[in-house]
Amino acid sequence: MKTLITYLLIVIFAALFILPGCKKNNPGPKPIIPVLPKITAISPTSGTAGTSVTITGSAFELSAAANTVKFNGTVAAVSSATATTLIVTAPAGAGTGPVSVTTTGGTATGPTFTYLLAPGVTSISPASGVAGVSVTLTGTNFDAVAANNVVKFHGVAATVTAATTTSLVVTAPAAGSTGAVTVTTTGGTATGPVFTYLLAPVIAGISPATAAAGAAVTITGTNFDATAANDVVKFNGTVATVTSATATQIIATVPAGGTNGNITVTTPGGTSNGMAFTYLVATGPNIYVVGSDTRSGFGYWKNSAFTATTDCNGADAMVGSGTDIYFAGPSTTQTPTYWKNNTAVHVSSQTGFTSSVAVSGADVYCLGVLNNVYTYWKNTTATPLTTTSLIYLTGTYQNNELAVSNGDVYVAGAQYLGNSTILKATYWKNGSPIDLTDGIHSGSARATAVYVSGADVYVAGLEEIRDITTGGIINEAPRLWKNGVSVPITTPANSIFNTITSILVSGSDVYLGGQYNGAGAVWKNGAMINTAAYSVAEVVSSIFLYNNTDLYISGASSSSGNNCYWKNGNFVEMDPGCTHQGANCAATFANQVVSIYVK
């Protein structure tokens, strides 16, 4: 028994002290295996450079510096980190692409971050307008959702009605003012061109407030358009012609046919307030007579009031166009010149003069001499009259030597027959001669006036009638040719003191003015009329038919020597009671009244 106990003690001792000494050495703690990071979300998923972005996931490093975050390959700054969250700043210079996180456990690729680009405005159309006008903005990087674009006109928000990435359609806000247009999206703000608000014009005053049709009226105020064509001026609804304009002043011509009422101005900015204007009703037409006054020189009368013209050595012809008066004659500069409302217009700087004038639309035509060559001008373009011999154009009264119709220019005159002294009555069309007589079957003839009515060309002049035995002149017969065919003209008897100065055609009536047997004479359709009335003049110089009813004739009184005219055969002396030249009396002579115009 004792032996057994001893044996058990030995076994226990061995188990406690000997067997443990046979075990292997302890290797220490097991190593930690790195875990691959994972990205589950980013917020926000879009933005501009500099946007703070939160990355959610797992296995991120606890130290911010130990996490490498990239936006489409561009390193971003990590501002804070936990094992499940990183806060980073979207780097500049990166483009839209995936976000990645790299730790010691590896690299994880997450969702795409979309870079929002700042918008750009390249143009606006229109660049000016009133509040409420639709404006189209063209540019880049706009938001295709209209509500995501904030458009402002000089700081005032506008309504966006349509949007694409390159175009916005907006409405100019009522409270806006002139200034830059801006566009703001989530990508930033762009400043575009200036939009100019057009304001409705305001009339502050008109002068004169009473005038006749054709008068100039000055309108003062604000917000007018400096381009005259953009200002629509109305006289009680009747449109007027604007002759000049600034932002604060308009000059307009009182329109014919208008009535008493308000003047208004309409511009692209709107319509102004009205201001009352009263039409001055004339008691009769304005009567213009051109010639010379021994007190003041050459010029014209308007309703018997004379206005002298400078630089003028003679007045040979006059024509009216609207309220404008044109006349031709030699100038003191000895260059071809005509006068418009007494202002000289030089058609050439070379030596010469003008003797007749016509107006067609905006073009002014003159007849005269340039460097000793008979020439006509259209504005300042000269065309010489062609001929195979010398040309004869002369006379005291040359009012109707020139006519213009449908762009064609007609001139009345004569050419010498070869090298002889015999003249052939001739008219020129656009510079080319057309003979009316041949100079063989009669004596000399010359055309002195031309008129075109529709397709018909009327030419008037004189033709010598010679004694078949002696060859002497027994009559200078007045002549009228229609389209080259002679039309009979009657005279009481033969006379060598005859002249045709003027011609007028109205419908089927043809009027001629001039001289018969040394006294003024008028023919209507070939027969002399009102011989007692017109014979008071030494010569009838021109004819004008007003409103197809009133016949005006100009001339000079052979009894008093004063300038005068006739209306329907009734004598009107322009200086009544004046018989002797003095400070208040012209006492002019017959050849000093050359033309009449009534408007």
Rounded Cα distance between 86 and 60, Å, is 8
Tokens 């030596």 map to which residue?
Answer: 351
| DSSP letter for each residue of 6-21 | HHHHHHHHIIIIIGGG
**Residue 481 clears pLDDT 90, i.e. is over it:** yes
Buried b (16+ CB within 10 A) or exposed e, 557-592: bbebbbbbbbbeeeeebbbeebeeeeeebbbbbbeb
Nearest to 598 by CA among 292, 289, 256, 308: 289
Q: What does 400-469 look like in DSSP terms, one character per residue?
A: TSEEEETTEEEEEEEEESTTSS-EEEEEEETTEEEES--SSSSS-EEEEEEEEETTEEEEEEEEEEE-TT
Amino acid identity of 289?
A: V
Q: Kindly provide the b/e burial profile for residues 255-264, where b requires at least 16 CB atoms within 10 angstroms of the residue's own CB.
A: beebeebbbb
- Tell me what the pLDDT averaged over the chain comes to: 86
Q: Which of 353-362, 381-390, 400-409 has the lowest mean pLDDT?
A: 381-390
Comparing 28-32, 134-138, 244-248, 520-524, the range with the smallest average pLDDT is 28-32
Structure token digits, residue 487: 């039309």
Omega before residue 208 within 30° of 0, cis: yes
Indicate the CATH number of 287-598 among 1.20.1250, 2.130.10, 2.30.30, 3.50.50.
2.130.10
pLDDT reading at 591 higher than 50: no
pLDDT band at 451 (very low <50, low <70, confident <90, very high): very high
Strands (E), 525-592: 527-528, 537-546, 550-557, 563-567, 570-573
If pLDDT is split at 50, 70 and 90, which confidence band does 176 have? confident
CA dist 309 and 311 (Å) reads 7
Q: What one-character DSSP code corresponds to residue 283?
A: S
Q: β-strands 85-89, 232-235: how paired?
A: unpaired
pLDDT at 278: 93
Task: Please answer whether residues 181 and 193 qualify as being in contact, where contact means their C-beta atoms are separated by less than 8 angstroms.
Answer: yes
136 beta partners: 125, 169
Q: What DSSP element (H or E) covers 532?
A: helix 531-534
Please give the Cα distance from 26 to 349 (Å, whole number). Answer: 126
pLDDT in tens, 100-113: 999 999 999 999 99
Give the CA distances from residue 95 to residues 11, 113, 220, 435, in Å, rounded to whole numbers and listed in that order: 79, 9, 60, 90
Q: Are 450 and 457 in contact (CB under 8 A)?
A: yes
Q: How confident is the model at residue 545 (pLDDT cuts 50, 70, 90)?
A: very high
Sequence-distant (6+) residues with CB within 8 A of 466 are 442, 443, 472, 473, 474
Is it the case that residue 133 has pLDDT exceeding 80?
A: yes
Percent of the chain with pLDDT over 70: 87
Structural contact between residues 249 and 263, judged by C-beta atoms closer than 8 angstroms: no
Three-state SS at 314: coil
Q: What is the mean pLDDT of residues 518-538?
A: 86
Contact predicate 174/131, CB 8 Å: yes
What would the mean pLDDT of 429-434 be, rounded to a whole number? 92
pLDDT of residue 120: 94
pLDDT, one tens digit per residue, over 306-354 is 777 888 887 788 898 888 989 888 898 999 999 998 899 999 999 999 8
295 pLDDT above the threshold of 70: no
3-state secondary structure string across 211-253: ECCCCEEEEEEECCCCCHHHCEEEECCEEEEEEEECCCEEEEE
- CATH annotation of 202-279: 2.60.40.10
Please determine, looking at this structure, whether the domain spanning 120-197 carries the CATH number 2.60.120.380.
Answer: no
**How far, in Å, are 398, 455, 576 from residue 371 at the CA level?**
20, 33, 43
**∠ CA(387), CA(452), CA(505), 5° rounding?**
135
Residue 2: pLDDT band with limits 50, 70, 90:
low
CATH 2.60.40.10 segments of the chain? 38-115, 120-197, 202-279
Amino acid at 150: V
| CATH number, domain 38-115 | 2.60.40.10
Mean pLDDT computed over 66-82: 96
The pLDDT confidence band at residue 590, using thresholds 50, 70 and 90, is very low
Q: Is the pLDDT of residue 525 over 80?
A: yes
Cα distance between residue 504 and residue 511, in whole Å:
5
- Which two tokens mark 8? 């058990």
* pLDDT for 520: 84
The answer to whether 194 touches 135, Cβ cutoff 8 Å, is no
What are 274's two structure tokens?
């009205």
Cα separation of 147 and 150, whole Å?
7
pLDDT for the residue numbered 280? 82
Q: Mean pLDDT throughout 240-246? A: 93
Reported as a pLDDT band with limits 50, 70 and 90, residue 22 is very low
Which regions of the chain carry the CATH code 2.130.10?
287-598
Residue 67 has pLDDT above 90, yes or no: yes
Which pTM was predicted? Answer: 0.54
Inter-residue long-range contacts of 326-334, CB under 8 Å, 24+ positions, other chains counted: 326/357, 326/359, 326/364, 327/290, 327/300, 327/357, 327/595, 328/354, 328/355, 328/356, 328/357, 328/366, 328/367, 328/368, 328/398, 329/298, 329/353, 329/354, 329/355, 330/354
Does the pLDDT of residue 589 top 60, yes or no? Answer: no
